[in-house]
């Protein structure tokens, strides 16, 4: 073989080795203010089901990294009628919270504590980032969707009543105020994160006034961001397109219920809700939790066998670290998690493996730089 | 030709009473043609309706088609572009087939589909979604049926502006409608040999409305102990569907979720161009329809895919208990697509509508 082709081959080998073993780390050249390193308090709500398992995973990893945060843990369970006042106090003081899922009894007359928390703290935007994790095989490639969902009104207004026995009404409320602010958040998010397209999801051909108002607000905000492409899609077509051609979506802004469905569908095609990070954010507070809501409490069997997937919450806590302006810790955590996933020998059941939560945590800690 | 004419004459002379009609249908006699309404629809509608009639004639299906078109002005009796005569026709014949109808967006009259549903009291929309052998999508093992409540729920059309900038939309769930669709779902599961029915809901948030729907499903489930019954929250359902659609068999849901999930399932198997559907109404009315759009951009160009309309027609035949011919036509369609030689553009092929139709007729 000629010397030239030998060097070419060597270069090829080196490059392919480099790309498979090294997930890109971002070199951080940001200048903190003096005192930024003092530890921040974060409210921690372990929650129900797999919640305690996965929040414990986050606690362990934060310890291992010596991240400048400490948790104030509070016990909240889904059967409680309200979130305890002291927990709300703590979140209001700390401004940031990390939580596991709270199980809502079905048809039981107790309104969902997850929803209560969001409404009381006015966390009007729910964000889920659904993307293909390198090394995790899925049926769909090139998925990188951020679903931004209005979190306080819409179908979740909780206004139901029985008109006469056997006839029940539920009110879906859409206001210009809430639609505008979620549209603004979505476009701002796209602008700040260099995203090129925002898609509004609606059913305005049937719900002409309600979703029509939502669309109007989105269109108005879109005019202020001429550099970002804006389009609209009907929710049933949207789900179909997600399954067929997910690469066409970038940032999606939706009212409450559709956002729930779209986020879970997008999470499902990109690898499952066990790995997608997300959170809820308002003007003053932010609550981070597993991105998409399906399976955030998990089944009893997973709890017993300790096989819950901590990846989603770990990646959400990385988002939290960035929110708290600790980007280098966030990067280290994300890199370690992605490396563990791409190596493939330590995966929980929902990703096709057999590992326990603790094994994944240990692997992540081992991979921390 | 003469035999065909004789059959028609016999049909009209003996079909004076509806009782006779239904008994003729029950015995699925091939000598008395059954009358059915056909709405070819807009856009590609007329072409695929032609194709459909060709295949059904080639398969010797003795059906008399009563064709109706959408008029160009609003009929005050129905407050939509559908005439009173069209609606009466379906009510009389009890069976119909509908092509795609374009709904002009937001013009203050009722959408055509909604008009049909409300006037004919079509309470359940049944959409079987199964992977077509030979047409590869990302999912190979889809075999499920979505049954969607079709009259109320979020699509009641009751909206109003409370004050400027605040709009309310009312979702209605009634015991009557929920029981009706739940009964139909379990009956369908039983008669088609299905093992499991899943009720899809969001009762953890919408406790009274979806709670009532679930209650009705629970009650009906008790009457069918041999069929497995489960309740799945809609977000869970979406995720499970895209990860592993084989987990589901028959799904029954209220209106909005049904709309979204049935389209999602259609996406799993290859899109709306391949999905049949059938609307069931009171008194045994069945209106099969092709759920795709009217595709005005390819109208008249002989490029349209008639599969959805043909498969819907097959569903209609099964409803009429003409199972043998249904099977025949169904196999012909499946085989043509599986062979791969004649496929329309949306399936990645280059055939025209007429070529595809001819291939199916040859396969009969």
Which residue reads 């006839």 in tokens?
Answer: A167
pLDDT of residue A294: 79
Phi-psi region of B241 (alpha: psi -120 to 50; beta: other; left: phi over 0): alpha
Tell me whether B260 touches chain A (CB under 8 Å): yes
% pLDDT > 70, chain A: 91
Chain A touched by B246 (CB under 8 Å): no
Minimum CA–CA partner of A296 in chain B: B236
Give the span between the Cα atoms of B158 and B160, in whole angstroms: 7
For residue A47, which of A39, A55, A38 has the smallest C-alpha distance?
A55
CA distances from B40 to B66, B100, B180 (A): 11, 7, 29
* Per-residue pLDDT at B224: 95
Residues on chain B touching A176 (C-beta within 8 angstroms): 164-166
> Range with the lowest mean pLDDT among A234-248, B108-122, B134-148, B233-247?
B108-122
| Degrees, nearest 5: CA angle B84-B85-B90 | 100
Which structure tokens are listed for B191? 């008669």
Q: Could you tell me what percent of chain B has a pLDDT over 90?
A: 37
Is B35 designated active site?
no
Among residues B123, B259, B346, B358, the one annotated as catalytic is B259
Do the beta carbons of residue A173 and residue A157 sit within 8 Å? yes
Burial of A37 (0-12, 13-18, 19+ CB in 10 A): exposed
Round the average pLDDT of chain A to a whole number and report it.
89
Q: What is the rounded CA–CA span in Å between residue B39 and residue B42? A: 9
Q: Do A243 and B267 touch (CB under 8 A)?
A: yes
Mutate to test the interface with A, among B159, B230, B265, B347 (most CBs of A within 10 A): B159
Single pTM value for the model: 0.86
Does B278 score more than 90 pLDDT? yes
Residues 6+ positions from B148 with CB-CB distance below 8 Å: B124, B125, B127, B181, B252, B253, B254, B255, B257, B258, B259, B261, B262
**Residue A2: strand, helix, or coil:** coil
Question: Angle, nearest 10°, between helix axes B45-58 and B353-363?
Answer: 20
Note whether A240 contacts B263, CB cutoff 8 Å: yes
> What would the 3-class secondary structure string for B233-271 be?
EHHHHHHHHHHCHHHCCEEEECHHHHHHHHHHHHHHHCC
What pLDDT score does B319 carry? 86
Q: What is the pLDDT of residue B22?
A: 40
Average pLDDT score over residue span A160-186: 95
Separation CA A26–CA A14 (nearest Å):
21
Please answer yes or no on whether A235 and B167 come within 8 Å at the CB atom. Answer: no
Nearest-Å Rg of the Cα atoms of chain A is 22
Surface of B (69-128) touching A: CB under 8 A? 103, 105-106, 111, 114
B7/A164: higher pLDDT: A164
**Most confident stretch, A287-301, B302-316, B340-354:** B302-316
B288 and B277 Cβ atoms separated by less than 8 Å = yes
Complete DSSP assignment for B153-172? BTTS--EEEEETTEEEEEEE
CB proximity list for A8: less than 8 A, separation 6 or greater = none
With contact defined as beta carbons under 8 Å apart, do B312 and B289 qualify? Answer: yes
Beta bridge partners of A232: A200
Q: What is the DSSP letter of A332?
A: H
Q: Give the closest-approach CA distance of B290 to chain A in angstroms.
A: 15
pLDDT in tens, B100-123: 887 665 556 667 777 788 788 899
pLDDT of residue A164: 95
- Give me the pLDDT at residue A129, please: 95
Q: C-alpha angle with apex A262: A257 to A267, nearest 5 degrees?
A: 130
Cα gap A117→A130, rounded to integer Å:
23
Distance CA A228, CA A176 (A): 22
Confidence of residue A209 (pLDDT cuts 50, 70, 90): very high
Looking at the DSSP assignment, which residues form a beta bridge with residue A175?
B166
Condensed to tens digits (0 to 9), the pLDDT of residues B49-87 reads 988 888 988 888 888 888 888 777 777 777 777 788 888
Which structure tokens are listed for B136?
Answer: 């590869």
């Amino acid at each position: 073989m000629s010397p030239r082709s030998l060097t070419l081959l060597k270069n090829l080998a080196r490059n392919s080795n480099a790309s498979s073993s090294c997930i890109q780390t971002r070199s951080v050249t940001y200048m903190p203010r003096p005192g930024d390193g003092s530890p921040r308090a974060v409210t921690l709500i372990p929650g129900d089901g797999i919640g305690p398992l996965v929040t414990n995973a986050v606690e362990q990893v934060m310890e291992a990294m010596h991240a400048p945060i400490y948790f104030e843990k509070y016990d909240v369970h889904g059967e409680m009628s309200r979130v305890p006042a002291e927990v709300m106090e703590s979140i209001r003081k700390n401004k940031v919270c990390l939580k596991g899922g709270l199980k809502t009894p079905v048809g039981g007359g107790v309104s969902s504590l997850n929803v209560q928390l969001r409404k009381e703290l006015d966390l009007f935007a729910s964000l889920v980032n659904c993307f293909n994790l390198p090394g995790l095989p899925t049926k769909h490639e090139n998925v990188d969707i951020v679903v931004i969902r209005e979190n306080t009104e819409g179908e979740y207004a909780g206004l139901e009543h029985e008109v006469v026995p056997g006839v029940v009404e539920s009110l879906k409320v859409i206001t210009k105020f809430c639609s505008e602010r979620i549209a603004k958040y979505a476009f701002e998010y796209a602008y700040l994160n260099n995203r090129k397209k925002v898609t509004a999801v609606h059913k305005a051909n049937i719900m002409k006034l309600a979703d029509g108002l939502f669309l109007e607000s989105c269109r108005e905000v879109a005019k202020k961001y001429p550099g970002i492409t804006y389009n609209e899609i009907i929710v049933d077509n949207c789900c179909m397109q997600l399954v067929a051609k997910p690469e066409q979506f970038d940032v999606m802004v939706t009212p409450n219920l559709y956002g729930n469905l779209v986020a879970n569908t997008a999470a499902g095609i990109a690898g499952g809700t066990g790995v997608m990070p997300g959170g809820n954010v308002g003007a003053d507070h932010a609550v981070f939790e597993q991105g998409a809501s399906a399976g955030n409490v998990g089944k009893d069997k997973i709890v017993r066998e300790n096989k819950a997937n901590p990846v989603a919450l770990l990646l959400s806590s990385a988002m939290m670290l960035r929110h708290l302006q600790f980007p280098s810790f966030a990067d280290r955590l994300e890199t370690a998690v992605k490396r563990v996933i791409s190596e493939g020998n330590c995966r929980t059941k929902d990703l096709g493996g057999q590992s326990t939560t603790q094994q994944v945590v240990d692997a992540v800690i081992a991979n921390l730089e | 030709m003469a035999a065909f004419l004789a059959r028609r004459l016999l049909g009209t002379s003996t079909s004076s009473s509806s009782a006779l009609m239904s008994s003729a249908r029950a015995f699925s006699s091939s000598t008395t043609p059954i009358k059915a309404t056909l709405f070819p629809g807009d856009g590609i509608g007329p072409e695929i309706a032609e194709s459909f009639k060709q295949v059904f004639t080639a398969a010797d299906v003795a059906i008399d088609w009563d064709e109706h078109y959408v008029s160009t002005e609003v009929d005050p009796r129905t407050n939509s572009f559908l005439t009173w005569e069209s609606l009466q026709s379906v009510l009389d014949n009890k069976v119909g087939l509908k092509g795609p109808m374009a709904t002009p967006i937001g013009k203050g009259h009722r959408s055509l589909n909604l008009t049909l549903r409300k006037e004919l009291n079509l309470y359940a929309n049944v959409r079987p979604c199964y992977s077509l052998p030979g047409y590869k999508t990302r999912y190979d093992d889809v075999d499920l049926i979505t049954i969607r409540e079709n009259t109320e729920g979020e699509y009641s059309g009751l909206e109003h502006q409370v004050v400027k900038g605040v709009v309310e939309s009312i979702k209605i769930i009634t015991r009557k409608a929920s029981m009706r669709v739940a009964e139909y779902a379990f009956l369908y599961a039983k008669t088609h040999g299905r093992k499991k029915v899943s009720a899809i809901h969001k009762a953890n948030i919408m406790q009274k409305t979806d709670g009532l729907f679930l209650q009705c499903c629970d009650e009906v489930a008790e009457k069918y102990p041999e069929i497995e019954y489960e309740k799945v929250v809609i977000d869970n359902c979406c995720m499970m569907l895209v990860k592993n659609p084989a987990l589901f068999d028959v799904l029954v849901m209220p209106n909005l979720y049904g709309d979204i999930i049935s389209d999602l399932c259609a996406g799993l198997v290859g899109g709306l161009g391949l999905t049949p559907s059938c609307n069931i109404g009171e008194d045994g009315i069945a209106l099969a329809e092709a759920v795709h759009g009217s595709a005005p951009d390819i109208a008249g160009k002989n490029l349209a895919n008639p599969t959805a309309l043909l498969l819907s027609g097959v569903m209609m035949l099964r409803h009429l208990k003409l199972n043998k011919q249904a099977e025949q036509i169904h196999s012909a369609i499946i085989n043509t697509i599986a062979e791969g030689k004649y496929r329309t553009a949306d399936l990645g092929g280059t055939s025209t509508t007429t070529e595809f139709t001819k291939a199916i007729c040859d396969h009969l």
